[in-house]
Amino acid sequence: MSALLALFGGAAATYLLRVLLVAVVPADKLPAWVREALPHVGPAVLAALIVGSLVHQGGIPALFTAGPAPFALLAAGFVAWRFRSLAAPMAAALLVMLAATPF
């Protein structure tokens, strides 16, 4: 029962995080420095998420023991830059991973 409460409590907390600055605090009430920083949220968060998925909790050294995943993501980055597609980078990363997988 407590596990279910924690699971659905997490869902409720997630909703609150989403809605707080959209519906509760009006956008025009945000300080100027916050509005200035907002355009940088996307690249900073995305890069942090990508790196986090590679290193998990291992710190910088984990980048060098992450197997073919960093190369797969580099291939995805190249394909995204070259072809401006969202599906192609995933295909490229999967192909690199499959090529590096021993059968």
> From the CB of 19, what's the least distance to another protein, in Å?
4
> From the CB of 96, what's the least distance to another protein, in Å?
8
> From the CB of 67, what's the least distance to another protein, in Å?
10
> From the CB of 29, what's the least distance to another protein, in Å?
9
Q: One-letter amino acid identity for 12?
A: A
In whole angstroms, give the CA distance from residue 77 to residue 50.
11
Q: Determine the distance from the C-alpha atom of residue 61 to the mean position of all C-alpha atoms in its chain, rounded to a whole number.
A: 20
Contacts of 70 (CB under 8 A, 6+ apart): 54, 63
In whole angstroms, give the CA distance from residue 50 to residue 80.
15
